[in-house]
A and B are shown apart, each in its own frame.
Chain A
């Protein structure tokens, strides 16, 4: 049996980090090979080397047994390598066909042969069982379909070796199942797949072999059937990892946040939140479960003041803040870990120090009159960096240079440094490795135990079930029903998430009862 890919002694250095340190990596023809490792372990870097997006300092690459020199990524494409990136690389205004054929358009004289392109897409989409509408525009398609377009793009350019970098991070469970079907059919047709993920159940389900990376090195490659999640986690992190969350029962106190009949518009001015009511008490975690795009983002933005409320009320500790400014809400004790850390969580080009002080630069002891005390800034930042175990060479590097997990720690550190009364966390562990997930979960529970009210929004059912004291399921901008964390089971939550059943009336009554209570109290 030949190896489709054989990478030997790959070394890639970025300023201050050895991203790949003498890495050996091989993938057999026709297998599904999982690649796992902590954030920043060097997985994407290794694949970027293979796909010609970056050039290593040292190392050799063999494709199908022959040594190759990949200088730029068109070389890799010509060698039959295709890659679907962590963030999709599609042109929103182009059609599916135009995106897939980009860079390899069929031609008729000087013009693009649009009929040939269209027929071509129909043909491969049929051959590989990947259904798409060739004339749909990318911007109108859901992520799951966009990903299918990315895969088709690689196949159109004759990829035999397909690299999927964290393909399931943005998918719903149903889309993930579909993707696995596609991957299996590709392998059945002789393709080879490299699959990067942070989710061990996916490794166990889909892969034939798995390679674990840590700190830029390969720890080991194993047959999937000879390993298990606990062992993988240990190899990845270098210590035993608690895959389950440990928490004491909640001890809820007064209502902190109360949302009443809230309606909020999305960016297209459609109602995304439609008459939603909920409340969160001090010392409890309320989990909002639901498939993404059911109004969660708009709900969070309305509570923190980033999006206007269309109708309804937001009440914080008895005081209405529906139209209050962001600063005022911050002063009232609201902290938020936003779902997109790259866009709203940190300023990528600012230093860690600047990122950490944005909520406190105007307060004593950092802010002094009109000036900022830079020594205080450094001290403040370094304390947080130590306390939250942010792995960074210094507090003065830019946030963009950190791995996903470390970036999330920076956001958490900043938000918790204010000792919030209400902590809102949205998709807090998306794209994070097990070690970081463990840390983030522990931090959230500690905040609860210190008496904060926590509103957790997540599309990961497992995360919701293991952290929440109460769970509300949201569907099309409304609460479908409520269960306590202890009673929740995946089955019925899943149904509610799909808009089936629910006990919305009960949930609604429960919250109006609470309202009456609060008003009395």
Chain B
């Protein structure tokens, strides 16, 4: 096979516009899970409850959308669920001093069981719930931009949550690096005593950070249940809460870093879908791939970055 053929195959089957769109879509819940990890990490809190928060967000979004017949009500339902779990998590771990890891595990287990139980008792079905009365998010075509060749196709035609996510990435960056509260949050994460002696209320900032993380995770859930699918499936978070922690680490705790690292996950996830359609590789292997590739890549790049830093330091000598 000569090079031009390979290039042709790559551009036709891998790097085409539809695939890039797929990557951006599939990256969205991971970006949101990454922001959930980021905002707590930056406040000095190890939040492993992202997975459970996503599930609850997804479930309540479906329920609200079903009962009120509106996707925006679904979004609201998801956000409220996120705020409530966030508040509970903060209350127990920060105020009552429950162990933060134990508390995180508790929320993940609880969310898993609670959503199964609720699906069964509210909708009377098991395993998942779909219904025509659930209103999901439709694709939005952005006027003018959609008419630009290529760029229009790349930027237009996503659901509301995708755009919201892009906005949140930028807004979080602006918040962290340009607003007083962002400075306070980072100071609390890095040296809480420094913050405290300057009259900053450490406890309150951490509380708010955990609630914000609940909202980010819930939005990831809303995307899964009302943007990606239209309905709830048990365990639909599928590890994205944890992948969020990985992309946050890999992204260096920066919103843009989180966004870019999530694209990697989105890309492999998208390839998986394509391969699944081709039925060449066993489906279990295909659905495992995004996780393996993401973790392997993140590990590889993190090690390389560390080594580069060490080399730079030695060179200075």
Tell me the bound Cα distance from A98 to B314 in angstroms.
29
Check if B282 is an interface residue, CB within 8 A of chain A: no
A102 and B183 within 8 A (CB) = yes
* B-binding segment of A59-67, A86-94, A228-236: A86-94
Check if B193 is an interface residue, CB within 8 A of chain A: yes
B194 and A270 within 8 A (CB) = no
* B-binding segment of A104-112, A383-391, A452-460, A507-515: A104-112
* B-binding segment of A71-79, A122-130, A287-295, A428-436: A71-79
Check if A83 is an interface residue, CB within 8 A of chain B: yes
Check if B184 is an interface residue, CB within 8 A of chain A: yes
| Chain B interface, DSSP helix/strand/loop, else mixed | helix
* CB 8 Å contact bits of B168-180 with A (1 = contact, 0 = none): 0000001000111
> Min CB distance, A395 to chain B, in Å?
28
Q: Which of A51, A74, A102 contacts B184 (CB under 8 A)?
A: A102
Find chain A residues with CB under 8 A from B178 CB. Answer: 111-112, 114
Check if B191 is an interface residue, CB within 8 A of chain A: yes
> Min CB distance, A307 to chain B, in Å?
16
A sample of 4 more A-B contacts (CB under 8 A), given A110-B179, A270-B316, is A51-B197, A89-B193, A103-B195, A105-B183
Q: Which of A93, A103, A268 contacts B200 (CB under 8 A)?
A: A103
Check if A271 is an interface residue, CB within 8 A of chain B: yes
- Residue pairs across A and B with Cβ atoms less than 8 A apart, 17 shown, are A53-B197, A77-B198, A89-B191, A89-B194, A91-B186, A91-B187, A102-B183, A102-B184, A102-B194, A111-B174, A111-B178, A111-B179, A112-B179, A153-B198, A157-B198, A270-B313, A270-B317
Find chain A residues with CB under 8 A from B317 CB. Answer: 269-271
> Min CB distance, B189 to chain A, in Å?
9
Known contacts: A72-B199, A94-B187, A269-B314. The answer to whether A105 contacts B194 by CB under 8 A is no
Check if A85 is an interface residue, CB within 8 A of chain B: yes
> Min CB distance, B167 to chain A, in Å?
16
> Min CB distance, A152 to chain B, in Å?
13
B interface residue numbers (CB < 8 A to A)? 174, 178-180, 183-184, 186-187, 190-191, 193-200, 310, 313-314, 316-317
Find chain A residues with CB under 8 A from B184 CB. Answer: 102-103
Q: Which of A73, A114, A268 contacts B199 (CB under 8 A)?
A: A73
A92 and B191 within 8 A (CB) = yes
**Closest Cβ neighbor of A87 among chain B residues:** B193
A268 and B313 within 8 A (CB) = yes
Tell me the bound Cα distance from A222 to B204 in angstroms.
44
> Min CB distance, B293 to chain A, in Å?
31
Tell me the bound Cα distance from A308 to B241 in angstroms.
39
Q: Which of A51, A92, A111, A153 contacts B190 (CB under 8 A)?
A: A92
> Min CB distance, B38 to chain A, in Å?
15
Would you list which residues of chain A between 351 and 395 have a CB under 8 Å from chain B? none
Find chain A residues with CB under 8 A from B183 CB. Answer: 94, 98, 102, 105, 112
Q: Which 6 pairs of residues, A with B, have the shortest CB-CB distance?
A: A103-B198, A74-B199, A89-B194, A270-B317, A105-B180, A268-B313
> Min CB distance, A420 to chain B, in Å?
34
Would you list which residues of chain A between 237 and 291 have a CB under 8 Å from chain B? 268-271
Find chain B residues with CB under 8 A from A90 CB. Answer: 191, 194
> Min CB distance, B276 to chain A, in Å?
43
Known contacts: A91-B186, A91-B187, A91-B190. The answer to whether A112 contacts B180 by CB under 8 A is yes
> Min CB distance, A474 to chain B, in Å?
18
Find chain B residues with CB under 8 A from A85 CB. Answer: 197
Q: Which among B186, B194, B196, B316 has the highest number of chain A CB atoms within 10 Å?
A: B194
Known contacts: A112-B178, A112-B180. The answer to whether A102 contacts B313 by CB under 8 A is no
Find chain B residues with CB under 8 A from A89 CB. Answer: 191, 193-194, 197-198
Tell me the bound Cα distance from A107 to B310 in angstroms.
38
Find chain B residues with CB under 8 A from A77 CB. Answer: 198-199
> Min CB distance, A69 to chain B, in Å?
16
Find chain A residues with CB under 8 A from B198 CB. Answer: 77, 89, 102-104, 153, 157
**Closest Cβ neighbor of B177 among chain A residues:** A112
Tell me the bound Cα distance from A270 to B310 in angstroms.
9
Tell me the bound Cα distance from A98 to B180 in angstroms.
10
Find chain A residues with CB under 8 A from B180 CB. Answer: 105, 107, 112
Find chain B residues with CB under 8 A from A105 CB. Answer: 180, 183
Q: Which of B179, B191, B310, B316 contacts A91 (CB under 8 A)?
A: B191
Find chain A residues with CB under 8 A from B194 CB. Answer: 89-91, 99, 102
**Closest Cβ neighbor of A274 among chain B residues:** B317
Tell me the bound Cα distance from A105 to B198 in angstroms.
11
* CB 8 Å contact bits of A136-161 with B (1 = contact, 0 = none): 00000000000000000100010000
Tell me the bound Cα distance from A466 to B279 in angstroms.
83
Find chain B residues with CB under 8 A from A74 CB. Answer: 199
